[in-house]
Amino acid sequence: MARSLLKAVVWAGLLTVGMASAAGAGGFSRGTAPTDLLYEDGNFNMRFDARAVIPHQTFKTSANPALVGTSFYDEYLIPSVGIKFNISDNFRCVGTYTQNTGSDVTYDAPKIPSGKLDESFATDEFGVTCAVRLDVGPGVLSVLGGGFVEELNYERLTDLSVPVNLQAGATVLPPGSNGTLELSGQEYGWRAGLAYEIPEIRLRAELLYRSGTEYGADGALSVPADFAALNGLPTTLLPATGTGNLPQSVELNLRSGIAEGWLAFASVRWMDWSVLQTLTVTTALGPVVDEYQWRDGWTVTGGIVHSFSEAFAAQASLTWDSAVSTGWDLRGETWTLALGGRVRAPVGGEFRFGTGFSYLAPEETTQYDPGFNESTDEGYAITLNVGYVIQW
């Protein structure tokens, strides 16, 4: 029974983190690399996981009246894969993949004054993390370390007539003169940590650090011919570069058995989203700056797992994520209730499933010129999670 409970709570920590990522909670946070596979029994483990997120939040006020009452978040899918090998009794490694950050928004009408119609970005993280395990006192001390490569893809669709016409004070471009920006980049980082386990009481404490990344992404801005002619451009395809920062993080994960068949778990994560002050895109037209000016974010999760039998366990958790907005953006506070379970397959695996409901607090911008600030109503997000684990 203890072994069954141990496996259940390891998975529960992964599931609740996934549910907390609904609709951009924690800035642009999405998936978390499944490095907790390092603690699971077995010489070889594989985990496949996918989360579908369905958010809904509408504009309460906007500089463009056509946006009021419309929802702007798009649905998205977060994949996650982990493969662990025990190289020796005291040394093991896990290869991981997940989409760790991202954002997808579509506007029913152009935003004013930027003219944005659609904006999306995602970073895919491919990593390797290893653990050296040492017997210390009544338990096992694990020293963790590894690296990752992060690949960024960014796209933006803009109705260029909106900012041009506002600047000129008269209609000089017809609506629908759309420009498409595409950028991509690659950066590297590392993670390190310590963990201590006492298997007899199903206790684990883990402190894990992940470095941030600093981007110089390259790509192109495609503009319509009338816009190119208006600005004296010899081509409709302009080289573009984008610069910005994504945060480092520190996460403390705790869990312990509290009664026969029951475990409690908790986690606290800090991310220095304050490094994301602006996203600056530079082309032949000059720089265009998206203002974020975020503050650091905190994510706090608490939950419980109950093993009903060797074949079935269930968990419930509650997550709070602090707002990162400082009046320049609409990323507000969220609360997430998550429920999930696992069913052990007859041969060699476990099926895992869950759902989450997130409350998205209303938010408003206050730092723009009069008439250009906006606000949102209360919103929600529904998350569906499925996964499968193989162990030998």
Rounded to 5, what percent of the chain is helix, strand, coil? 15, 60, 30
pLDDT reading at 117 higher than 80:
yes
- Supply φ then ψ for residue 227, to 5 degrees: -70, -45
pLDDT digits (tens, 9 = 90+) for 79-103: 999 999 999 999 999 999 999 999 9
pLDDT at 17: 39
pLDDT category of residue 10 using cuts at 50, 70 and 90: very low
Instruction: Provide the whole-model pTM.
Output: 0.92
Q: What is the dihedral sign for C-alpha 14, 25, 116, 52?
A: positive
What six digits make up the tokens of 170? Answer: 């008269």
Q: What angle do CA 275, 278, 279 make, to 5 degrees?
A: 115
Residue 171 has pLDDT above 70, yes or no: no
Residue ranges covered by each domain of the chain: 2-391
Q: How confident is the model at residue 346 (pLDDT cuts 50, 70, 90)?
A: confident
Residue 11 has pLDDT above 80, yes or no: no
Tens of pLDDT, residue by residue over 218-277, are 999 999 998 888 888 889 999 999 999 999 999 999 999 999 999 999 999 999 999 999
CA angle 222, 176, 377 (to 5 degrees): 105
pLDDT of residue 25: 52
The answer on pLDDT for 370 being more than 80 is yes
Q: How confident is the model at residue 3 (pLDDT cuts 50, 70, 90)?
A: very low
Residue 15 tokens, joined: 């599931």
The arithmetic mean of pLDDT across residues 141-156, rounded, is: 98
Residue type, 241: T
Q: How confident is the model at residue 172 (pLDDT cuts 50, 70, 90)?
A: low
Residue 173: the pLDDT is: 78
Whole-angstrom distance, CA of residue 377 vs CA of residue 36: 37
Which sign, positive or negative, has the C-alpha torsion 329, 126, 341, 92? negative
Residue 138: asked if its preceding bond is cis (omega within 30°), the reply is no
| Residues near 309 by beta carbon (within 8 Å), at least 6 away in sequence | none
The pLDDT assigned to 6 comes to: 42
- What band does 14 get if pLDDT is binned at 50, 70 and 90? very low
Query: Are residues 219 and 183 in contact, defined by beta-carbon separation less than 8 angstroms?
Result: yes
- Could you tell me which CATH class the domain 2-391 is placed in? mainly beta
Residue matched to tokens 């706090």: 300
Token representation of residue 49: 């996981």
Contact status, residue 307 vs residue 7, Cβ threshold 8 Å: no
Residue ranges in the chain assigned as alpha helix (H): 2-20, 161-168, 225-230
Decide if pLDDT at 330 tops 90. yes
Alpha-carbon distance of 351 to 185, in angstroms, equals 35
DSSP 8-state code for residue 202: T
